[in-house]
Structure 1
Amino acid sequence: MAIARDQYIDYYAEKLWEWLPAVYREQDALNGGDSLRAFLRAVAEQAAVAKRSQDRLWDDVFVELASDWAIPYISQLVATRLVSSLNLRGRRVDTAKTIYYRRRKGTLMVQEQLVSDIAGWDSKVVEEFKRLARTWHMLDCPLTVGRLTKTPKGGIADIRSPRGSRLACDAFDEFHYTPETRNPSGLTGRRGIETVSYHIYRLQPVTFNGVQPRRFGALADGRDQSTFDPSGRDIALFSGNALPVDWNGWQTAAEWELPRPISCRLLAEEIFEITAEEVAWVLTDAPIAGQPQREAAAIDLTKLIGESFYHRRELIRLLNGMPSSVTLTAPGVLAGLLSRALVRACGSAALLPNGADNAPWPVQNDPQDAAYGLPALTVGFAGVAEPVGRPRTRAANLEAWNPPNPADVDLFVSPETGRLVLNRGGNTAQSVRVSYQVGMLAPVGAGAFSREASIELPDVTWQNSSVVAGTPADGIAEVVDSRTYGSPQDQLAVINTRVRAREGQRPYFILRQDWLLTSAQDDAVLELDGLWLGSRTPNHLILDGNYERVLIRYCSFDPGGDAADGSVLPAVDLIVRGFVENLIIEKSMLGIIRLDGADASIEKITIIDSILQTRDAASVVIDALTAELRIERSTIITPSEIQLAVDVERLYASDTLVAGLVDVTDNQNGCFRFSAAASGSRVAKPYRSVFLQQISGLFISTRFGDHQYAHLTPQVYPQVLVGGEQGVEMGVFNQVLHEIKLRGAHTKVMEYLPFGRTPNFIIEN
């Protein structure tokens, strides 16, 4: 359990210092003033531990508040079988909900909750016997059909439905199959009577609000061509988890409620249903001139009650054929009718904002009463309260950036690539703001997630794309939004400079020139927290002078790539021209770390839970010949297994994956344990490590910005997937504990599975 920011250590250290006789304090000052304070701080740390333990004596009685060590003792009271001790969250939830599970054993509700509670992943549970083709008979429950394809249960598929064909073999498949006799293993052998498939979604949705999209240009008709991603990359937009927090109100997830990439057809999905509420609106509030016209339109509309229409053109075509078509298709009446008849349980209704021109949701169009959250993506303008609503938004394939230009549409979105074409009207290009979601496996790099940022008040605030306040020499500069900024000002007198993003924000900096930070004295301190540094021309972060400590946490230094228009995005390197005693990189994504100049050096580099990559076949990722490198749970990527990735004097590596060669000068000291590197590497004392003959196909994606960036391919090098110290994968996602969580979920699923059923886990992302 995380320790609260109680400041106990600082308090007791100062208290002990005050109690110390003045003569000893004076003597300590004459001898340098550090040794006695360091000793008292060590005593204060133990005093803080005792104080926290005393404070938590009562909390340890309750499973929600107890310390981690107390959970096994509480679990004995309910006689539950605990999962791995490394899965602390799963242990706690399992203990808290054991009685709840036992009362509902064998139900689908518990099966989906178990995966979420034990592993922390969203899931969709499917009983495969319901997808087997067979003859229906009268003893079965009432015959139902698929929501999209209208395929009857056990019946022949309607292969004319493009939407349904794209969902084949998916968790939301509406087709039916002949039985299989093979043992189920993922996607193979799962069509069995006894099989229960668990479609698991490991990625977590991360929401970015108030982002400035990158504008590439304008079409001939004046509409802007932009990307949601501020750097200009193609990215997949994700739907999010909108399931109710109260599990007693459980219902199985809909397609848009799971953290997965949004398809163009899902975003375009519109289902209309005419109910008595729409008829009543036509009779009373619709903008129709005369009462006879109202009554005639209501009579025609009554004939459509209970009918569903799977596209607006189907409903409009039918309305045009009615006697009162002139009234029903009048602009004001048709717009209000479409907005009220749109069923909430469809893709566009769930993913897009309602908009100022839409009526509130009717109650009868929400029969499941689901707790829908905020829309997955919005496009609006600074100073304008309402975003572009769904009536004026369409999904489209924007590969060619040239969609049609109907008068009733202002926004075209391609969710699979994160592109948009927007009619701004009278708004400026700089005022466009977007909000969207992406999928992340772990909080690495700059992102709008909780990262326990410092609680100290900032000295300088950067906001609204302005950095005029400058980089402080001795103080904190905080970026309070997720806007796009230009180059921060150079600071040539660094003493204790800290630049951070506010928690929950991810600002993007375009370096139009090198960002130079030079220390004003020996033992200067620099901290960068939560920043994303990119560039349109080759520019870098340069450190000059003498630094005692440089800390880079939750940052992304763009390793380069390709923009949506085909242009090249250059890499942002970390260049050291002076001396850095301790370079610390935590949970970050970086490009190259290199020295520049004969006097430049780094004494010690510490890298934890990070990704480093070069796309240049002639570059070394970590090029510091005299440095000592300590690296844990990190991934280093190069284009080839024959390329030098790390060149240091001494190396201590653990749970690390290096897709390239490692060259260590001092092979008598250091270690290379539970790690992997290219064959031919020179490392010290390898222990239970793997040396790769090739790295092609090792990663699902090496494109920075992809939601599967640096994910390992399951079929390549299985020894890397389980070669970490804890029996999990090597590299940056070692911290995810995938294998441990999966085994824990499997164990608990087997405990509460209905009799005679076989579980089958399918990892969707």
Structure 2
Amino acid sequence: MSTASERLYALLPAVYRERDAAQGHVLRSLIELIGEQVTVLEDDLDQLYDDLFIETCADWVIPYLGALVGVTDPAASRAEVANTLAYRRRKGTATVIEQLASDITGWDTLVIEYFQRLATTQYLNHLRLSHRTWIDVRRPTLRGTAFDASPRTAEMRRIEPGRGRYNIANIGIHSWRIPAFEQGMGPAQRLDARRFRFDVLGRDLALYNRPLPEPEISYRAEPWNVPMPLTRELLADHPDRYFGISFAVEVDGEPVTPAAGQEWLDLFSVCNLMDFAGSWANLPADRIAIDPELGRLAFPSGEDPPGEVRLMYHYGFPGRIGGGTYPRQEGFSPGAPIRVPEHHTSIQAALDAAVQRLTTDGSDDVDGVVVEITDNAVYAESLQLHVPAGRWIELRAAEGRRPALALGGDFELAGDAGAEVRLDGLLVAGGAVRVAATVDGAVNDLERLRLQHCTLVPASNALDDRATPLVGLQIDSGCGVLLHRCVCSSLRLVETASVEISDSIVDAGATDALAVARDDDEPAGDVQVRASTLVGRLHATTLSADDTIFHAAGDAPPVRIERVQQGCVRFSWVPSGSIVPRRYRCRPSDDDGFMHPYFTSLVWGDAGYGQLSARCATAIREGAEDGGEMGAFEHLKHVMKSARLRRNLPEYLRLSLEAGPFLET
């Protein structure tokens, strides 16, 4: 019984409850039905009360509360409406413009009044000791960033289109679009007894700052309040702002932290650990050396080599795809999970237990089983899974975790009729996820393979050799595949297989390599793509696509579809020379001239991987169906956020001032 039903039943006289118990609780069943409606009514009344406050109201109430304080934009965010009165009290100041930009876009923002950075002579009746006309070249900690306070001569170009900056009337709005994601405490990648990398796959990785919250609206952003890459100079100058916050080190289960009377730099040395003479430069003798720009760690030669080294750090990535510690729980399948390593120390043992649970007597009422990995460890295993008929098995990372599977070969998946495999939140390296045509001489009838928030990196030794063709998914049966919010290498599918790709990046490593096809450049089956980025050529039987970038080139048609009478390609970038079904408002058109998509980076592991560059043509950045950008990060709505900021700025700018937005990442 629900709480409301229990309360109602308790109000009945005891004599009636006793008679009801003697007659099989018929009255109690009636009270339970009434109690369900009472619960609905109580919840509705509670929500009506919550709707009186911007902090707790339902989303649909936000524009109505905004209208009460004069916010006319129906797309205003909760924070924007909540802070409107505070904006107006400080209208015209840099602090309120900074807070406004952050609330509208959701990006960490710094506002600069550029008249304060002009190289001018001083007024003797009002000396500004912080204002100088020389540059400190001895320690250029923030040189080239938005926090660079070096004086400049005046620029005559306007700031609104982003061309000029340094002038009396100019206000610069600098935003960091790339957030910092936490990689929870997990094993470091050991190079030898004393040298380690932060990244579990052994890549050089720039560490990011975990932004500290600004305490109040009048506070101006500092470097530690925005998600920017850590530099050696910045870390050495402000160790208390970053050590233990943006990253942490554990040795043999004990955190490395200063004792009483010690400082962080008594334990750590911030230095350049670049490759040098077959080793690393500046290896330490008495302190732990850290290089935040390369993501490297070295222990001193004067001490015993460490045992188990575990690290926590932050890295940059454009959005919530490919897995990570961001919230993913909405996509989880129900059921009590089999946990690794609590219940089983290996993933294969947990998968075997899941199959056993589905095949034992009394399992007819169980549709599927969840196997959940609850840590950030690296699992070096050779995996295989065979799902019984009509059942499903989900292998996932727990909420807030990102484990890595270092496969010793392909991850072999199989199943009987109606079976399904679900993968969620995994980083897979060392091999492909493969669905073979036959298993032990029998046809592989696995019906569906669903991947969400996964990154498939089949061969970690090819990370620095992007010319090497990689395969992330090998489908040799008639299995249906779903990729959602994933980063994946090339797909190989037989003609009877089908794939649906949404909000994902499929990266073949080069524009002339095969991203989606069958082996030997034969056509794959049916392909449906929405709001994704495909790097490499596509050869398929049919294609339906929306808001997608096909970044491909080569002597063969970049995108080649066999049955062009089926399907449609809408609001997408389709390279010249492609053979595709009917197009609708695709780019490039005959009037576009020479135009190509430009990305911040196409090297997996870079913070700007897959992100459209600010210098990309407007026709691509605003070419999606809703007026946003094409590609995998269409769901971030960057274009709409920037447009809303431009619309709202004039209300809060002082007379004769002009503001211009600048994207730092």
TM bin, normalised by shorter chain, reads 0.7 to 0.9
Structure 1 pair 716–514 and aligned structure 2 pair: CA distance change class (3 A): same
SS in structure 1 of the partner of residue 57 of structure 2: coil
The reply on whether 1:507 has 2:403 as its aligned counterpart is: yes
- What amino acid does structure 2 have at the position aligned with 1:764? E
Matched, 1:456 2:335: yes
- Contact kept, 8 Å, 1:403 with 1:412, in 2: the verdict is no
Conserved? CA contact 2:119–2:153, under 8 Å = yes
Letter in 2 for 1:116: S
The whole-number CA distance in structure 2 between the counterparts of 1:739 and 1:237 is 27
Contact 2:548 2:571 in 1 (8 A): yes
Change (3 A) 1:619 1:715: closer
Specify whether residues 635 and 53 from structure 1 end up closer, same or farther in structure 2 by C-alpha distance, changes over 3 A only.
Answer: farther
- Counterpart CA distance in 1 for 2:491 and 2:45 is 46
Matched ranges for 1:3-42 at <5 A: none
Once the two structures are TM-superposed, the CA of residue 132 in structure 1 deviates from its matched residue by 1.2
Work out the CA distance in 2 between the residues paired with 1:674 and 1:60.
38
The answer on whether the counterparts of 1:264 and 1:416 sit within 8 Å (CA) in structure 2 is yes
1:51 & 1:575 partners in 2: Cα distance? 52
Contact 2:492 2:517 in 1 (8 A): yes
1:605 Cα deviation after fit: 1.8
Check the 8 A contact 1:678/1:694 in 2, yes or no. Answer: no
* Cα displacement string for residues 648-706 of structure 1 (whole angstroms, at most 9, x for unaligned residues): 22222111101122222222221111101211112212111013998877222111111
Please give the per-residue CA displacement for 1:134-184, whole angstroms capped at 9, x wherever unaligned. 2223432x5333xxxxxxx1x2213432415x514x322222122222211
Which of the residues 242, 246, 260 maps onto 1:376?
A: 246
- The one-letter code matched in structure 2 to 1:377 is F
Distance 1:612 1:481 in 2: 27
Pair 480,695 (structure 1): closer, same or farther in 2 beyond 3 Å:
farther
Counterpart of 1:636, as a letter, is L
Cα offset for 1:561?
6.4
Which residue in 1 is equivalent to 2:420? 525
User: Which residue number corresponds to residue 109 of structure 1?
Assistant: 95
Confirm or deny that 1:690 pairs with 2:567.
no
1:29 maps to none
1:406 to 1:731, Cα distance in 2 relative to 1, 3 A: closer
Distance (whole Å) between structure 2 residues aligned to residue 589 and residue 492 of structure 1 = 25
Cα separation, 2, equivalents of 1:99 and 1:697: 41
2:229 maps to 1:261? yes
Deviation at 1:568, TM superposition (A): 10
Out of 281, 292, 300, the residue aligned to residue 403 of structure 1 is 281
1:210-241 Cα deviation digits (max 9, x unpaired): 122222235xxxxx222211111122111121
Question: Which SS does the other structure have where 1:81 is aligned?
Answer: coil
Q: Which of 385, 392, 409 lines up with 1:496 in the alignment?
A: 392
- Closer, same or farther: CA 214–566 of 1 in aligned 2, 3 Å: farther
Note the alpha carbon deviations across 1:418-473, whole angstroms, 9 max, x for none: 122224955655x1111111112210102111112525321242369743633132
Look up the match of 1:558: 457
Question: Whole-Å Cα distance in 1 between the matches of residues 496 and 43 of structure 2?
Answer: 42
Partner SS, residue 64 of structure 2: helix
2:542 corresponds to 1:650? yes
Residue by residue over 1:239-265, the C-alpha shift from the partner in whole angstroms, topping out at 9 and shown as x without a partner, is 121023x435x4212223210111121
Alpha-carbon shift at residue 712 of structure 1 (Å)? 1.8
Measure the CA separation in 2 of the matches of 1:685 and 1:52: 50
CA distance in 2, matches of 1:525, 1:558: 22
Aligned to 1:229: 199
Q: How does 1:56-67 map to 2 (within 5 A)?
A: 56-67=47-58
CA distance in 2, matches of 1:105, 1:213: 49
Q: Distance in 2 between matches of 1:502 and 1:51?
A: 34
SS in 2 for 1:117: helix
SS at match of 2:241: helix
Aligned equivalents of 2:511, 2:622: Cα separation in 1:
29
Deviation at 1:417, TM superposition (A): 1.7
CA distance in 2, matches of 1:174, 1:706: 27
Tell me the SS of whatever aligns to 1:627.
strand
Corresponding position of 2:121:
135
CA distance in 1, matches of 2:180, 2:636: 15
Mapped to 2, the partners of 1:267 and 1:683 lie a distance apart of 51
Instruction: Give the conservation status (yes or no) of the 8 Å contact 1:607–1:631.
Output: yes
Tell me the CA shift for residue 523 of structure 1. Answer: 0.7
Contact 2:532 2:548 in 1 (8 A): yes
Amino acid at match of 1:690: R
Would the aligned equivalents of 1:560 and 1:568 in 2 still touch at CA under 8 Å? no
**Secondary structure, aligned partner of 1:621:** strand
Instruction: Give the Cα separation in 2 of the matches to 1:736 and 1:628.
Output: 27
- Unaligned stretches of 5+ residues in structure 2: 3-38, 259-263, 359-368, 437-443, 553-557
Whether 1:99 and 2:85 are equivalent positions in the alignment is: yes
TM superposition shift of 1:608: 1.0
Q: Deviations over 1:371-403 (max 9, x none)?
A: xxxx21222224214458442212222222433
| Structure 2 residue 291 is matched with structure 1 residue 414 | yes
Range with greater deviation from structure 2 (673-682 or 623-632): 623-632
Structure 2 equivalent of residue 157 of structure 1: 134
Q: How many pairs are equivalent?
A: 581
In the other structure, the counterpart of 1:24 is none
More off after superposition, 190-199 vs 99-108 = 99-108
% identical equivalent positions: 28
Q: Is the 8 A contact 2:200 2:378 kept in 1?
A: yes
- What's the counterpart of residue 349 of structure 2? 469
Return the letter of the residue paired with 1:654. D
In the TM superposition, what whole-angstrom CA distance separates every residue of 1:330-357 from its partner, at most 9, and x where no partner exists?
xxxxxxxxxxxxxxxxx2221113xxxx
Q: Which residue of 1 aligns with 2:186?
A: 211
Contact 1:576 1:601 in 2 (8 A): no
The structural deviation recorded for 1:618 is: 7.0
Counterpart secondary structure, 1:732: coil
Q: Which amino acid aligns with 2:223?
A: E
Q: In the alignment, does 2:152 pair up with 1:167?
A: no
Q: Determine if the alignment matches structure 1 residue 351 to structure 2 residue 235.
A: no
CA distance in 1, matches of 2:510, 2:164: 43
Contact 1:659 1:695 (C-alpha < 8 Å) held by counterparts: no
C-alpha distance in structure 2 between counterparts of 1:694 and 1:719, whole Å: 12
Gaps of 5+ in 1: 1-5, 7-47, 146-152, 219-223, 270-346, 354-374, 639-644
Q: In the alignment, which residue of structure 2 is the partner of 1:759?
A: 659
What does the per-residue CA deviation read over 1:469-525, in whole Å, with 9 as the maximum and x for residues that have no partner? 331324211110111111253123454211000111110111112211211x20101
Which residue number corresponds to residue 18 of structure 1? none
Rounded Cα–Cα distance in structure 2 between residues aligned with 1:403 and 1:577: 48
Native 8 Å contact 1:487 1:515 kept in 2: no
SS in 1 for 2:514: coil
CA distance in 2, matches of 1:689, 1:750: 34
Query: 2:412: which partner in 1?
Result: 516
Aligned to 2:59: 68
Structure 1 residue 553, shift from structure 2 partner? 0.1
Deviation at 1:725, TM superposition (A): 1.2
In structure 2, what residue type is equivalent to 1:469? A
In the other structure, the counterpart of 2:645 is 745
Change in 2 beyond 3 A, CA 1:565/1:79: closer
Check 1:566–1:216 CA distance in 2 against 1; reply closer, same or farther (3 A cut).
farther
Given that 2:183 and 2:312 are in contact with CA atoms closer than 8 Å, whether structure 1 keeps it comes out as yes
CA distance in 2, matches of 1:694, 1:676: 13
Q: 2:71 aligns with which of 55, 80, 84?
A: 80
Match in the other structure for 2:629: 729
CA contact (8 A) 2:469 2:509 kept: no
Summarize the alignment of residues 606-645 of structure 1 with structure 2, pairs less than 5 Å apart.
606-615=500-509, 619-623=513-517, 625=523, 627-638=525-536, 645=537
CA distance in 1, matches of 2:491, 2:42: 42
Which amino acid letter does the alignment assign opposite residue 243 of structure 1?
A: P
Number of the residue aligned with 1:588: 486
Query: Secondary structure, in 3 states, of the residue corresponding to 1:106?
Result: coil
Tell me how far apart the structure 1 counterparts of residues 489 and 56 of structure 2 sit (CA, whole Å).
41
Deviation at 1:189, TM superposition (A): 1.5
